[in-house]
Amino acid sequence: MLYKTMSDEELFNEREKLTKEYDEICAKNLQLDMSRGKPNTAQLDISMGMMKGLADSPLVGEDGVDCRNYGTLDGIIEAKRLLSAMIECPIDNIIIYGNSSLNVMYDTVSRSMTHGVCGSTPWMKLDGTVKFLCPVPGYDRHFAITEFFGIEMINIPMDSNGPDMDLVEKYVSSDPMVKGIWCVPKYSNPSGITYSDEVVRRFAALKPAAEDFRIYWDNAYCIHHLFDEPENQDHILEILDECAKAGNPDMVYKFCSTSKVTFPGSGIAAVAASKKNIDFIKKQLTIQTIGHDKVNQLRHVKFFGGFDGMTEHMKRHAAILRPKFKTVLDTLETEIAPLGIAEWTNPRGGYFISLNTMDGCAKRVVELCKNAGVKLTGAGATYPYGKDPHDSNIRIAPTYPESDELKAACGVLVTCLKLASAEKLIAERS
C-alpha cells in the first residue's frame, strides 16, 4: 500500500511498527559498510596471478627498454596498447600514469590553475572565478578537487540520457569562465546510466566561450559491465573521435584506470587526448617526474596478455558483482516499490545504484542507518559542496560487503527508508 494513501492512523501504526523493528536492529550492534565503491575480496583474488607474472621475466619491454630503470615518461608501448584498447583511442594519444586516475585528474586541474591550458592564461591569474559544470548526482571526489582549487561548481541535472544538454550548451557557450565539466559518461557514478548518442554528439559539438574549456571525461567504468551479453551491456560513442569530427579535437580529456580491473591503488592509470593536449601535458609531466612505474605496467600487460584477456577478466568481476546488485535491487523492489516512497536506478554496469528518497529524507535515512551500524555514503556527497538541494539522493555501493552482510545491510536500509518516509509524511500532515 502506498504510504501517501494511508490514513493518519495507518501511518502512525506503520511508524510505530518500524520504530520497534529499528530498535531491534540497533540492538544487534551491526557493523556494515555500503559506503564506498570498493571491490570485494573475491574480486581482488582473481588478480592474484599478477603477483607471479614477473617472477621469471627479465623485465624488459618489447622495444628493449629495461623497465627497472629510469625513463619512458609516457609509458611502455605495450601498456599503451592495452589501455588505448580499453579507453578506445589511438596509441599515440595516450599517456600511461601511475596508480590513480584521480591523481591524474587532480594534476590536470592543478596544472591548469598554475599554467593554463595549451597556452591560455593560468586560471589563478584570471580575474573572476573559474567555474565547472557538475552533472548531478555525481562523483564526490571530482567535486572535492574543484572545491579544493576554489572553482565554483554549477549543478547540471541528469536524466537517463545524461546531463541536461540545453543547460550545458547555455553555460558553455555564454560564459568564458566555464572551463570544464565533470563527466562519468558510462555506468555513471552514482546513477549507473550511460550517456546517449545524442548527448555525446551534443558534447562534441559544444561551442565554448573559453578556448581552454575541456570536458573531463572520466571513463572509470568503460569495461565494467554487469552482464556478458553485448545486448545487455551499455555502449557509448567514442568522444575523442566525435570531438574531432565536430571540429573540436582538443576539447576533451579522457581518463581511465585499472583500479577496478586489478587492484585499486596498485593499478595503472591513463589520460587520452588530442596530440596538442598530450604534447602540452608532457611538457609539464617531464618536470614532475622521470617516469611512472614501468614494472607495474609490464606486470599488467603480462597478466592480461592483451585486451581480450582483460575483457575475459571483467566477466569474472561481473559474475561476482551481479548477485550483489540483484540483492539490493530485489530488496528495494520487494520492500519499497509497493510503498511509493523512493525511486532507484537499475544499472547494467559500474559500481553504484542511485536511490532517490522523497524530498528531505536522505540525510535522515543515512543517519538512521549509521546509528544502526550500517555505513552509507554521506547524504549530499553526490552533489557539489555536499548540498543536495532536495536532500533525496543516496548512493548505494553494493560491491564491497560479503553476501550475508549485504543482505543484512539492505534489510536495515529499507527499514530506515520506510521509517524516515513515515516520519516525513506524518510531519507534513501535522
User: Which residues form the interface with a copy of itself (CB under 8 A)?
Assistant: 36, 38-39, 41, 44, 47-48, 51-52, 54-55, 57, 59, 66-71, 98-100, 102-103, 106-107, 110, 113-115, 122, 124-125, 141, 144-145, 148-149, 259, 263-266, 284, 287-296
Distance CA 31, CA 289 (A): 42
Q: Report the nearest approach of a copy of itself to the CB of residue 184 (Å).
A: 16
How many other C-beta atoms lie within 10 A of the C-beta of residue 421? 26
DSSP state, residue 48:
G
Q: Which is nearer to a copy of itself, 233 or 259 (CB)?
A: 259
Q: Report the nearest approach of a copy of itself to the CB of residue 264 (Å).
A: 4
First-residue to last-residue Cα distance in the chain? 21
Q: Report the nearest approach of a copy of itself to the CB of residue 294 (Å).
A: 6
Q: How many CA atoms lie within 13 A of 53 on its CB side?
A: 17
* Type and span of the H or E element at 226: none
Q: Report the nearest approach of a copy of itself to the CB of residue 93 (Å).
A: 23
Q: Which is nearer to a copy of itself, 53 or 360 (CB)?
A: 53
Q: Which is nearer to a copy of itself, 113 or 426 (CB)?
A: 113
Q: Which is nearer to a copy of itself, 223 or 298 (CB)?
A: 298
Q: Which is nearer to a copy of itself, 129 or 174 (CB)?
A: 129
Cell matching residue 151? 572553482
Q: Which is nearer to a copy of itself, 55 or 427 (CB)?
A: 55
How many other C-beta atoms lie within 10 A of the C-beta of residue 183? 30
Q: How many CA atoms lie within 13 A of 12 on its CB side?
A: 5
Q: How many CA atoms lie within 13 A of 47 on its CB side?
A: 22
Distance CA 369, CA 228 (A): 34
Q: Which is nearer to a copy of itself, 91 or 295 (CB)?
A: 295
Q: Would you call 413 exposed, middle or buried from its count of C-beta atoms within 10 A (0-12, 13-18, 19+)?
A: buried
> CB under 8 Å to 290, separation ≥6 — which residues?
70, 71, 73
Q: Which is nearer to a copy of itself, 36 or 363 (CB)?
A: 36
For the chain, the 3-state helix, strand and coil shares in percent, each to the nearest 5, are 45, 15, 40
What is the total residue count of the chain?
A: 430
For strands 131-136 and 152-159, give the pairing: parallel
Q: Which is nearer to a copy of itself, 12 or 148 (CB)?
A: 148
Backbone φ and ψ of 117, nearest 5° = -130, 110
Q: Which is nearer to a copy of itself, 46 or 85 (CB)?
A: 46
Q: Which is nearer to a copy of itself, 149 or 307 (CB)?
A: 149
97-100 LR contacts (CB < 8 Å, sep 24+): 97/268, 97/269, 97/270, 97/271, 97/292, 98/268, 98/269, 98/292, 98/293, 99/257, 99/259, 99/265, 99/266, 99/267, 99/268, 99/269, 99/293, 99/296, 100/257, 100/259, 100/265, 100/269
Q: Report the nearest approach of a copy of itself to the CB of residue 381 (Å).
A: 14
Q: Report the nearest approach of a copy of itself to the CB of residue 254 (Å).
A: 19
Q: Report the nearest approach of a copy of itself to the CB of residue 349 (Å).
A: 19
Q: Report the nearest approach of a copy of itself to the CB of residue 68 (Å).
A: 4
Contact 162, 195 (CB under 8 A): yes
Secondary structure of 391-427 in HEC code, one letter for each residue:
CCEEEECCCCCCHHHHHHHHHHHHHHHHHHHHHHHHH
Q: Report the nearest approach of a copy of itself to the CB of residue 70 (Å).
A: 4
Distance CA 296, CA 407 (A): 36
Q: Report the nearest approach of a copy of itself to the CB of residue 324 (Å).
A: 16
Q: Report the nearest approach of a copy of itself to the CB of residue 388 (Å).
A: 21
